[in-house]
């Protein structure tokens, strides 16, 4: 089950909200979330519910043991074994066939691939579990002594399968003590509707452009301008797809009384790659920053090794393919360059040049992210500067640009913080009422338009669904 689906919008979500709000006590509402979250996760893959429940059980027990043996070697051992279990589960389900393929490539053996299906969202909920265990060990949070409350935290369907990665510390107090205000509901509805519009109206239509040229077309014949055009559309597709899901998750969480952290803050306005990663997939970036970048290795923090591991893991987390590793290390290289140059020198670069630099690097990065076939990736990189003998422009991509001009221009505009700026301007003019009325009308319009577009939708998955 996915959010951008008529059954979810008009049946599942409606029933969940009804059951949630007729329950007056927080304990009953927690159980409503558990039941609906289990149904949500089991809808397409019922067998993996048991893996989720078992993983929560192992980490629940680990938390209790860590608290019992606080500040002893036993607590360290429990933490280490639990992390081995959590990471091991992720590796088995997500990376087994990747390791088999690469081992076969360098050895005379031909080990058959394992018949393993990857559980939806395993990367997201595994990292949430890991953050809980490490924070328990570091004493940053109180150990959760109720299995069902921990299960609710891990399985909560708004953020279960595609993030954001919600730290336990963020909602620790809200598990038992949360109040839902009219502002929460209003802001939650707005975030959900805007996220739905990002996904259905923008991302889905941009995906048609991308699939036409990159998936179904021969990229070797695509012109320089055409290649840049399509990869820019893909960058925006991923942004609206993933940030749209995050908006919907944050919006539903807000309606339920939970305040999740932001996951995107208009990353395309960044002036450098460091800033881009402070605005893009924030929950993943902060996870690696807090649990890997500053962690001592062999007794001390090793600046370059830690940085390498962060970006290697960032890439590898996204998928079991070499292009994702290249993608992670590609961004890591620019982070290293910017750190070497220094923040003060980076700020002295003219603003227009900084934005241009960031945009080019990021757009090329999305091309690396797209092509899992390294041969096609090489062709794509050559196409960008005409190394494959491709023309500067071509008729087909030019026609496509003209036909989709309004879609692309609106998408580019909405990558910028236009709406927050408008809200701020109206508030400064004491016209916030007009903004509220306009936002309500926009919510209804976007929801209805998205619903209409979903009637005949045949291919509507989230890009990050299987990450």
Q: Which of 162, 157, 132, 122 lies closest to 255 in space, CA to CA?
A: 157
State the Rg of the chain over Cα. Answer: 23
Measure CA 167 to chain center: 14
Beta-carbon count within 10 A of 188 CB: 21
Q: Are 397 and 225 a contacting pair, CB within 8 Å?
A: yes
Active-site pick, 259, 281, 318, 355: 318
Task: Provide φ and ψ at 26, rounded to 5°.
Answer: -60, -35
Among left, alpha and beta (phi > 0; psi -120 to 50; other), residue 163 is left
- What does the alpha-carbon distance between residue 334 and residue 465 come to, in Å, rounded to a whole number? 28
Provide DSSP, 436-462.
HHHHHHHHHHHHHHHHHHHTT-S----
- What does the alpha-carbon distance between residue 90 and residue 316 come to, in Å, rounded to a whole number? 12
Tokens standing for residue 447: 């929801």
318 annotated active-site: yes
Q: Are 136 and 221 a contacting pair, CB within 8 Å?
A: no
181-184: list long-range contacts, CB under 8 Å, 24+ apart: 184/254, 184/255, 184/257
127-153 burial code (b ≥16 CB/10 A, e <16): bbbbbbbbbbbeeebebbeeeebbbbb
Q: Are 204 and 455 a contacting pair, CB within 8 Å?
A: no
- What does the alpha-carbon distance between residue 449 and residue 202 come to, in Å, rounded to a whole number? 12
Beta-carbon count within 10 A of 109 CB: 8
- What does the alpha-carbon distance between residue 358 and residue 275 come to, in Å, rounded to a whole number? 9
Q: Which residues contact 429 (CB under 8 A, 6 or more apart)?
A: none
Catalytic residues: 318
């Amino acid at each position: 089950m996915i959010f951008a689906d008529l059954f979810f919008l008009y049946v599942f979500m409606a029933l969940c909200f009804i059951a949630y709000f007729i329950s007056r006590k927080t304990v009953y509402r927690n159980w409503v979330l558990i039941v609906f979250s289990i149904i949500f996760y089991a809808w397409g893959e019922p067998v993996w519910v048991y893996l989720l429940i078992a993983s929560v059980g192992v980490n629940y027990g680990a938390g209790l043991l860590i608290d019992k043996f606080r500040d002893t070697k036993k607590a360290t051992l429990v933490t280490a074994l639990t992390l081995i279990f959590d990471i091991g589960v992720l590796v088995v389900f997500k990376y087994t066939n990747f390791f088999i393929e690469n081992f076969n490539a360098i050895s005379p053996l031909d080990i058959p691939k394992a018949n393993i299906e990857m559980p939806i969202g395993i990367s997201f909920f595994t990292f949430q579990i890991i953050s809980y265990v490490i924070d328990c060990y570091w004493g940053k949070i109180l150990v959760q002594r109720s299995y069902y409350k921990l299960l609710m935290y891990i399985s909560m369907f708004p953020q279960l399968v595609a993030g954001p990665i919600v730290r336990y510390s963020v909602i620790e107090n809200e598990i038992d003590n949360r109040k839902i205000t009219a502002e929460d509901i209003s802001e939650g509805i707005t975030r959900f509707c805007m996220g739905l519009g990002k996904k259905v109206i923008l991302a889905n239509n941009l995906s048609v452009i991308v699939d036409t040229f990159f998936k179904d077309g021969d990229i070797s014949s695509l012109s320089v301008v055409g290649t840049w055009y399509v990869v820019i559309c893909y960058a925006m597709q991923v942004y609206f797809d993933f940030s749209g899901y995050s908006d919907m998750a944050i919006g539903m969480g807000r309606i339920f009384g939970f305040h999740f952290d932001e996951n995107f803050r208009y990353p395309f306005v960044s002036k450098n790659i460091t800033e881009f990663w402070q605005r893009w997939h924030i929950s993943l970036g902060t996870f690696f920053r807090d649990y890997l970048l500053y962690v001592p290795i062999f007794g001390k923090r090793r600046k370059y090794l830690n940085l390498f591991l962060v970006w290697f893991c960032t890439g590898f987390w996204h998928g079991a393919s070499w292009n994702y590793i290249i993608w992670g290390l590609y961004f890591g290289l620019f982070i290293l360059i910017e750190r070497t140059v220094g923040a003060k020198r980076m700020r002295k670069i003219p603003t227009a040049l900084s934005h241009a630099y960031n945009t080019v690097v990021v757009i090329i990065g999305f091309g690396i992210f797209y092509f899992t076939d390294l041969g096609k990736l090489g062709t794509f990189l050559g196409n960008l500067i005409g190394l494959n003998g491709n023309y500067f422009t071509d008729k087909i991509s030019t026609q496509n640009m003209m036909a989709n001009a309004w879609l692309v221009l609106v998408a580019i505009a909405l990558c910028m913080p236009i709406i927050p700026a408008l809200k701020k301007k109206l508030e400064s003019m004491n016209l916030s009422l007009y903004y509220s009325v306009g936002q309500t009308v926009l919510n209804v319009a976007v929801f209805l338009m998205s619903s209409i577009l979903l009637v005949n939708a045949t291919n509507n998955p989230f890009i990050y669904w299987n990450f």
